[in-house]
Structure 1
Amino acid sequence: MSDLQILLISIGVALIVVVLLYNAWQDWRARRSMRQSLPDTGHDVLMRDAAPRREPVWQAGRPAADESAEADPACEAVIDIALAHPVAGESLAEALRSITRVGKKPVRVFAEREGGGHRAEALPGESYVSLQLAVVLANRSGPLTAIEWSNLWTLAQNLAERFEGLIEAPDQDAVLRQAAELDARCAAMDAQVGLILQLAQPRPVAAILQAAAEAGFVQARGQWAWMAENGLPRFALQIDAAEGGSAHRVDLVLDVPNSLPDDQAFSRMVAVGRDLATRLDAHVLDDQGRTFQDGSAPAIDRQISALYDQLDQAGFLAGTDRAARVFS
């Protein structure tokens, strides 16, 4: 080994020693500074008694919990709008107020809050970063049409322009194809069964409704209905006359997809119909206008029960919000 190599090695070792000594000195200075800045308590500051635990409490003015309602891909098509900047709930609510339907299809709007969570409506005091416009794919008016989908697109574009948003939506052909398939499936499971109470002579509507109330009907969801124990309608009462006029006929209608599943759904309506017919001096007819024979009720019960099963298996359990969206 040459003298030059020995010299270079010596210099390298010396430099390493200097760096190590400098780091040790810096560490000693830092520890001394920390000891001087901490109070002399006689014991380790990390082992002090912890402060009492404070349970979280609800404070007025805080946002309510996120809503559980959300778009339903089984029966709705969705257009997403990502907003470039958070938008105040007050501004968003005003813009969304008129968006309720396109053509004959209802539209639901969902807003994602800044920081997470979503609402079925924009609320004051919150900010939102994205929107969803959800339109039902099919209902009793038929499948979603190209015009209805185009109208929803227009609404989405207006919102995107107003709030600097970016739109993301499924292909129109795929949406319309899904709508047609859903319409065909649900049409095969849709049924409304009725009874007619033919009055011996016309009666004022007010008198008919009073008799219905005495028989157990209540006014709910914009109609007179016979309610189940859980508050869902079993069947409805319909009168084809103005409120202040008179009527000679009363209809009882069991809307199968929108009623509570029941093995004796029709027999129950027959029993109530007989009672109301007695109160109104009316004759009970089937929905074809023929004298109703009580002996046919069990067979109709079985048919309706089978339909309830089909609806459940298809994912549209009767009496649920999903069934109501499609069978309306």
Structure 2
Amino acid sequence: MTDLEMSLFAAGGVFVVGVFGYNKWQEYRARKSVERAFANDHDDVLMRADGTPMSRHEPVLDLGVAPAGEGVVLEPSLGATGVADEAPDDVPPPAKLTLPGAAPDTPPAELAESLVDPLIDCLIPLALEAPARGDKLLPVLQKLRRVGNKPVHFIGLHVNGDWEPIVHGGVYTKLQAGVQMATRTTSLNELEYSELVSRLRPLADEIGAEPELPDMIEAVSEARNLHRFVAGHDAQLGVNLRSNGAPWAIGTLIGALENQGYDVRPDGRFAMPDGDGGVLYTLSTNVTLGADTTNKLTLLLDVPCVAPARDGFGKMIAGAKTLVQRLDATIVDDYDQPLVDEALAEINSQVQDFYQEMETADIPAGSTRALRLFS
């Protein structure tokens, strides 16, 4: 059999499988539609999260007759859920939710954009058949947390009109999914997109939603463009400390580093905290956990993950110079050549240019957006 015949045979097989799968999908959708039509367990948005009923208010049409002594004409109004506006206490307030790197008082709308970001996520709107509570949505949506190595997040349009992370106690009229288009290693590809679609559709049926899927070719192309930027700005900048004499004893070294403010990690690396729960830079002893001595330390700055205002490079060099005095060491590059102040100043200038490039691309170093892409 020739290569052409083999190719045609394979293409025919893929086509047959595709048609079979499409027919099965249509059967599945039809069955789910019938089940929903006759189901008696529809989500009741007039129930509180704890199961107690809310007070119901029927819509009232005002005919324009103002109270005595007033000239105000009230227009008829329906609440966002399609039922009359409820008293403020009738809709439970959404639970507080924070994200890594976000301030505790970050507004829900800002948190929502951090989760489903139009710049770095492939967005998929989901139209709900009826308003739904977060208590019912969350267990279903948590079934789809990632495709491949790309995280998937969901946000909801609350009945108060704001987009927010979906939480218990919230009532939502629309949803939006977002799958991250790139990571440090890869971009969203055709296989991952197909996995997303095949898993999202039954999930959407389960919550009574209809996804608006973007074109796969366009989504994958956009993902590749984003990954090119990530790959071009995936900079980790390191300097080394070389012992001028005998190797350092690991036990003594660990105590000295802890006294200088480093946090010890389980993998044997050390991290210099930034004071707000993040990391400025890390330090490695360049030996295994069971080693007794080392004659070289490496300080490493993950440049896109540290905001310029924190001066990660400046503080890393300052920390290295402090260790030089305490340990009798020399600052060297990866080729064991000494790094003098002039060379370090030139590197710092390049770091500032790097930060400006990221700012121009609207992905500032150290931002939530950058931390997601370069995590």
TM-score (norm 2): 0.62
- Secondary structure at the aligned position of 1:182 is classed as helix
Q: What amino acid sits opposite 1:269 in the alignment?
A: M
- Asked if 1:276 corresponds to 2:323, the answer is yes
2:360 to 284, 302, 313: 313
- Asked if 1:46 corresponds to 2:69, the answer is yes
- Asked if 1:256 corresponds to 2:303, the answer is yes
Q: Which has the higher strand share?
A: 1
Report the equivalent of 2:163: 118
2:231 to 179, 187, 198: 187
In 2, the alpha carbon distance for the partners of 1:105 and 1:284 equals: 38
Report the equivalent of 1:201: 247
Report the equivalent of 1:140: 184
Q: Are residues 121 and 241 of structure 1, via their aligned partners in 2, closer, same or farther at CA, if it must alter by over 3 Å?
A: farther
Report the equivalent of 2:62: none
- Superposed, 1:71-150 pairs within 5 Å as 71-123=116-168, 125-150=169-194
* Matched residues, number: 274
In 2, the alpha carbon distance for the partners of 1:57 and 1:158 equals: 35
Report the equivalent of 1:62: 93
- Asked if 1:160 corresponds to 2:207, the answer is no
Asked whether the 8 Å contact 2:242–2:297 carries over to 1, the reply is yes
- Asked if 1:236 corresponds to 2:282, the answer is yes
In 1, the alpha carbon distance for the partners of 2:173 and 2:264 equals: 40
Shift of 1:131: 2.4
Shift of 1:198: 4.5
- Secondary structure at the aligned position of 1:68 is classed as helix
Give the structure, 1 or 2, with the largest relative contact order (CA under 8 Å, sep 6 or more): 1
- Secondary structure at the aligned position of 1:284 is classed as strand
Shift of 1:311: 0.9
In 1, the alpha carbon distance for the partners of 2:176 and 2:290 equals: 43
Output one character per residue of 1:10-38: Cα deviation in whole Å (capped at 9) or x when no partner: xxxxxxxxxxxxxxxxxxxxxxxxxxxxx
User: Tell me, which stretches of 5 or more residues in structure 2 are unaligned?
Assistant: 1-66, 71-86, 96-106
Q: What amino acid sits opposite 1:68 in the alignment?
A: E
In 2, the alpha carbon distance for the partners of 1:216 and 1:155 equals: 46
TM-score (norm 1): 0.70
In 1, the alpha carbon distance for the partners of 2:241 and 2:128 equals: 56
Shift of 1:253: 1.0
Q: Are residues 267 and 159 of structure 1, via their aligned partners in 2, closer, same or farther at CA, if it must alter by over 3 Å?
A: same
In 1, the alpha carbon distance for the partners of 2:174 and 2:259 equals: 50
Q: Are residues 162 and 45 of structure 1, via their aligned partners in 2, closer, same or farther at CA, if it must alter by over 3 Å?
A: closer
- Secondary structure at the aligned position of 1:142 is classed as coil
- Superposed, 1:217-232 pairs within 5 Å as 217-218=262-263, 224-228=270-274
Q: Are residues 66 and 190 of structure 1, via their aligned partners in 2, closer, same or farther at CA, if it must alter by over 3 Å?
A: closer
In 2, the alpha carbon distance for the partners of 1:308 and 1:259 equals: 10
Asked whether the 8 Å contact 1:267–1:297 carries over to 2, the reply is no
Deviates more, 1:101-110 or 1:241-250: 241-250
In 2, the alpha carbon distance for the partners of 1:262 and 1:115 equals: 36
> Percent identity of the aligned residues?
28
RMSD after superposition: 3.5
